[in-house]
């Protein structure tokens, strides 16, 4: 961090680059237990089609519910040994399937035999998400296709190098992936945003490239669209309300590779940040438990340590080493118990550091007062809560250690539950 002069300027945090950690990706050996999850309700569970004892093949399309279009891809050959209905972050309900994996992969041939072309209906019928993105549907509009898509070659949080490693190792699939992406979404313009160190890799595919200064939080989607396309996100804060979208370069490369090899993607590239803040690039099957990955890297976790999915600025805590990595798991952050800084219940002292740091120029010091008291709609109406880009800089600079970022995320979640967002859009 570069200290601001007399506290009058914003903190300058630089993203980690692959030149800082090396360009190797360690492949994690297959785990004998894998887990798949899908958001659902208890009512959806009544239409469950899969059952314990069902055999699955590697790459097989699994459609768990008869009344739901969403599907999963089996990351290994094996048998479903458990099905459970669980609650996750912000009380989000999902069903979890555990798979006892066999020693060898027996690939399902449906995707290859279908000989499908990269079209929206075909893609969604075989996989709802890709490595780097859990849901493709927000990019696909049948009536009003997105005009432009920004392919993010940077990583959204600090210490993460997932997208950069994906581009460095898979640049040969980038051009084909972009071609598939345009056919699927109907977008007329696709621009690849990269840090200066990866410009040459991105240009190899003959695609349009925009170099972005690797300073946090430039890679956050709403800020990236502003820099690349000059489009300012609406007050609702929803990218869906724009005529443009953002997708990770890992997703685009995985898409191109899937159609080139006629096999659905089952691997995820991610960054493991150990207790010494060392970033390690790894490649593992989706559904692999966190503990299996950490054991392969000889990283131990003891009572009191903290595990986070994501980076230090905007990551989300997880509460079990059995938690599996998903399509959108870009990083696993491991903090030693001596590194964990507990939040404070002390009141704001109006120092103004959060206001100076905020890239959206929100009056965070006023916003937090309403959020602490559960006045979420007032926070949205009076102080633009929904315009927050979720960078976490406010909590980073708070000298009172108020968990501002978590208050903001809770406020947005509560507004979504009450339907305020839809009402405010008419």
Q: Find the helix packing angle between 249-261 and 174-185, rounded to 10°.
A: 90
DSSP states of 259-325: HHHT----EEEEEEE-TT--EEEEEEETT-BHHHHHHHTT----TT-EEEES-TTT-EEE--TTPBP
C-alpha atoms less than 13 angstroms from C-alpha of 73 in its C-beta half-sphere: 29
Domain ranges of the chain: 18-28+266-335, 33-101, 137-261, 353-424
| Structure confidence at residue 129 (pLDDT) | 83
pLDDT digits (tens, 9 = 90+) for 57-113: 999 999 898 877 788 999 999 999 999 998 887 888 899 999 999 999 999 999 888
Residue 63 main-chain phi, psi, to 5 deg:
-110, 95
The CATH label, of 3.40.350.10, 3.40.50.11540, 3.90.1660.10, 3.40.190.10, for the domain at 137-261 is: 3.40.50.11540
**How far is residue 404's CA from residue 343's CA, in Å, rounded to a whole number?**
10
pLDDT digits (tens, 9 = 90+) for 125-158: 788 789 998 888 888 888 889 999 999 999 999 9
Query: How long, in residues, is the chain?
Result: 426
Residue pointed to by tokens 């009003």: 144
**Looking at residue 125, what DSSP letter applies?**
H
| Structure confidence at residue 42 (pLDDT) | 82
Q: Which residues contact 223 (CB under 8 A, 6 or more apart)?
A: 217, 359, 389
- Fold of the domain spanning 33-101: OB fold (Dihydrolipoamide Acetyltransferase, E2P) (2.40.50)
Count of CB atoms within 10 A of residue 424's CB? 14
| Structure confidence at residue 292 (pLDDT) | 98
**How far is residue 60's CA from residue 62's CA, in Å, rounded to a whole number?**
6
Residues in the chain with pLDDT values less than 70: 1-11, 235-238, 240, 420-426
Q: Which residues contact 204 (CB under 8 A, 6 or more apart)?
A: 171, 172, 174, 175
Q: Find the helix packing angle between 162-170 and 249-261, rounded to 10°.
A: 40
Residue-wise burial string across 301-327, b where 16 or more C-beta atoms lie within 10 A, e elsewhere:
beeebbbbbbbbbbbeebeeeebbbbb
The CATH label, of 3.30.420, 1.10.530, 1.20.81, 3.10.20, for the domain at 18-28+266-335 is: 3.10.20
| Structure confidence at residue 73 (pLDDT) | 93
| Structure confidence at residue 249 (pLDDT) | 97
Q: Which residues contact 153 (CB under 8 A, 6 or more apart)?
A: 163, 164, 167, 192, 193, 194, 195, 198, 202, 249
| Six token digits for residue 265 | 């993607």
Long-range pairs, 79-84, Cβ under 8 A, ≥24: 79/53, 79/54, 79/55, 80/50, 80/51, 80/52, 80/53, 80/54, 80/55, 80/56, 81/52, 82/52, 83/48, 83/50, 83/51, 83/52
Closest CA to 296 of 320, 277, 270, 257: 270
| Structure confidence at residue 237 (pLDDT) | 60
Residue 72: C-alpha distances to residues 58, 82, 363 (Å): 11, 16, 42
């Amino acid at each position: 961090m570069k200290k601001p002069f007399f506290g009058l300027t914003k903190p300058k945090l630089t993203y980690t680059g692959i030149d800082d950690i090396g360009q190797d990706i360690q492949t994690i050996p297959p785990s004998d237990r894998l887990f798949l999850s899908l958001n659902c309700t208890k009512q959806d569970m009544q239409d469950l089609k899969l059952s314990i004892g069902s055999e699955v093949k590697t790459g097989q399309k699994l459609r768990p519910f008869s009344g739901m279009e969403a599907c999963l891809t089996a990351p290994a050959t094996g048998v479903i040994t458990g099905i459970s209905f669980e609650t996750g972050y912000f009380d989000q309900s999902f069903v979890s399937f555990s798979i006892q994996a066999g020693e060898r992969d027996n690939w399902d041939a449906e995707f290859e035999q279908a000989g499908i072309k990269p079209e929206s209906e075909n893609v969604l019928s075989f996989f709802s998400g890709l490595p780097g993105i859990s849901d493709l549907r927000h990019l696909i509009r049948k009536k009003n296709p997105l005009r432009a898509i920004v392919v993010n070659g940077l990583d959204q949080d600090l210490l993460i190098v997932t997208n950069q490693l994906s581009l460095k190792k898979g640049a040969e699939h980038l051009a084909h992936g972009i071609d598939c992406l345009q056919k699927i979404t109907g977008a007329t313009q696709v621009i690849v945003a990269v840090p200066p160190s990866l410009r040459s890799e991105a240009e190899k595919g003959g695609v349009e490239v925009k170099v972005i200064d690797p300073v946090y939080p430039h890679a956050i989607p709403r800020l990236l669209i502003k820099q690349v396309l000059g489009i300012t996100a609406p007050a609702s804060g929803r990218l869906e309300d724009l005529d443009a979208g953002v997708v990770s370069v890992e997703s685009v490369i995985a898409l191109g590779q899937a159609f080139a090899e006629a096999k659905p993607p089952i691997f995820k590239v991610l960054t493991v940040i150990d207790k010494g803040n060392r970033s390690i690039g790894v490649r593992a099957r989706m559904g692999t438990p966190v503990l299996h990955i950490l054991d392969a890297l000889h990283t131990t976790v003891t009572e009191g340590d903290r595990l986070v999915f994501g980076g230090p600025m905007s990551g989300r805590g997880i509460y079990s080493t059995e938690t599996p990595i998903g399509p959108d798991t870009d990083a696993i952050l491991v903090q030693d118990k001596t590194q964990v800084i507990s939040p404070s219940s002390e009141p704001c002292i109006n120092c103004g550091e959060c206001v100076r740091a905020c890239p959206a120029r929100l009056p965070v010091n006023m916003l937090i007062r309403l959020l602490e008291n559960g006045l979420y709609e007032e926070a949205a109406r009076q102080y633009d809560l929904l315009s927050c880009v979720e960078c976490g800089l406010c909590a980073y600079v708070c000298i009172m250690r108020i968990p501002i970022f978590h208050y903001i995320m809770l406020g947005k979640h509560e507004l979504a539950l009450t339907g305020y967002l839809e009402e405010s859009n008419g």
